[in-house]
Amino acid sequence: MKVPHNAHVAVVDGNRFVVMRNTGQMFEPKLSNPQTPSLEPTNHSAGIRNQDDAGRRTGSTDLDELAHAAAAADWLNAEAKAGRIDDLIIIADPKTLGEMRRHYHGELQSRLRGEVPKTMTNEPAERIAQVLAAS
């Protein structure tokens, strides 16, 4: 995957949110400057549409995790609209990524350079860079 120099890389799951920058080259990314933005996951109705009868009975749909995904998307939207993000790649597990997509603003979509549907929040930056280079 092409990862533009200075692109933001957001790594998200239902509990963690880390944003890094590519200080390397387009096909040889090097991620640095990890930041953990503070989120307020208040949109607990975000994932309600994902609940089916089985999910309600077993509790397999975690609304807190989906609210976290919505809050991460809202944070990225605000940064894109303010012009603080030019190029963005999002790495998130499929469930989180699906919820985030529902909340993308047009400005964020225009700056989005790629998505990787994979859980990588507990991986070191070097491993994440390897996955990006191989994608």
How many whole angstroms separate alpha carbon 120 and alpha carbon 59?
Answer: 24
Give this prediction's pTM: 0.86
Query: Domains in the chain, ordered, with CATH?
Result: 8-39+46-134 (3.30.420)
pLDDT of residue 52: 46
User: d(Cα 38, Cα 59) in Å, to the nearest integer?
Assistant: 27
pLDDT mean by block of 10 residues, the chain; 135 residues? 96 94 96 91 56 51 82 96 97 94 96 96 94 93
Q: Which residue has the tokens 């307020």?
A: 40
Q: Name the DSSP class of 19.
A: E
Q: Which residues pair with 19 in a beta bridge?
A: 10, 35
Q: Hey, which bits of 4-111 come out as E strands?
A: 8-12, 17-22, 31-35, 88-92
